[in-house]
A = this chain, B = another copy of it.
Amino acid sequence: MADAAANPIACLLVIGNEVLSGRTQDLNIQFIAKGLGAIGIPLREVRVIPDVRDTIIAVVNECRARFDHVFTTGGIGPTHDDITSECVAAAFGVPWEPHPEAWARMERHYEPGQFNAARQRMATMPRGATLIDNAVSIAPGFTIGNVHVMAGVPRIMQSMFTTLAPTLQGGVPVQSRAVHAAGLLEGAIAEGLSAIQDRYPALDLGSYPYYRLGGNGVALVAKGTDTAALDACIAEVTALVEAQGKAPVPGEPAV
């Protein structure tokens, strides 16, 4: 992953027992990974962790020191297992207190008497947090320092990420070039592929077998920030596939 050495790098914390128990299929990692690549802040690690206070605090502090940006999903709703916000406050060593703007918005939103203690928790944030709005739910996410706290529900998270991304100082977008071929076997091209990777050390060249009703094959994907190198690399990969007597098709295989 030397494809973007000068780019800022990111870590994602997926916070929630429901992912670790298998109750919930995560759909947030892929969306965020693609979105971050597009703005040149490649995702370098994901950690799925439980709704456990000490764990969240420790992992937030470890990761905000190691990465330029830390994104979190999950744990900012109104229920007892939604503890991300107060844990982030503890990680930063700042008070967890009503956020005036979030509080005012939510107070206006609910009928009299319905802005109860549980919902007030969603307007309670680490001191100094700035809001991340979303178009789906009244409750905002927030940023403090280099930590961006978002909802776990995919469509709310996606709206928050879409609000947040343009505000970040991005790098050079990570782009990709792909070619695939039916009937190709990884083991037959592995040595040639390794030689190509060695000639393009700044790119990340991956080989991904696929299994489709229409036939098995391999997809070969080059990723990086240097478009000229990407074009040259994928041309070499295409020639390698042809030398195996297989028909290379540009792009990824259809799902």
Contacts and interface: CB of A to CB of B under 8 A. Distances in A.
Contacts of A45: 20, 47-50
B117 A191 contact: yes
A47 B50 contact: no
B29 A19 contact: yes
A79 interface: yes
Contacts of A44: 20, 50
In the assembly, how many copies of this chain are there?
A: 2
B153 A211 contact: yes
A52 B204 CA distance: 11
A124 B57 CA distance: 40
A204 B17 contact: yes
Contact of A81 (B32, B49, B79, B206): B206
Contacts of A80: 190, 193-194, 197, 205
A208 B43 contact: no
A21 B43 contact: yes
B1 A29 contact: no
A248 to B, nearest CB: 17
A5 to B, nearest CB: 13
Task: List 8 tightest A-B contacts by C-beta distance, closest first.
Answer: A118-B190, A22-B33, A22-B34, A80-B194, A46-B48, A79-B207, A119-B187, A78-B187
Interface of A: 1, 14, 17-27, 29-35, 37, 42-52, 77-81, 114, 116-119, 121-122, 153, 155, 174, 176, 186-188, 190-191, 193-194, 197, 204-209, 211, 221, 223, 252
24 contacts: A1-B52, A17-B204, A18-B208, A18-B221, A19-B33, A19-B46, A20-B42, A20-B43, A20-B44, A20-B46, A21-B176, A22-B35, A22-B37, A29-B48, A45-B50, A46-B47, A47-B47, A79-B193, A80-B190, A80-B193, A81-B197, A118-B194, A153-B211, A155-B211
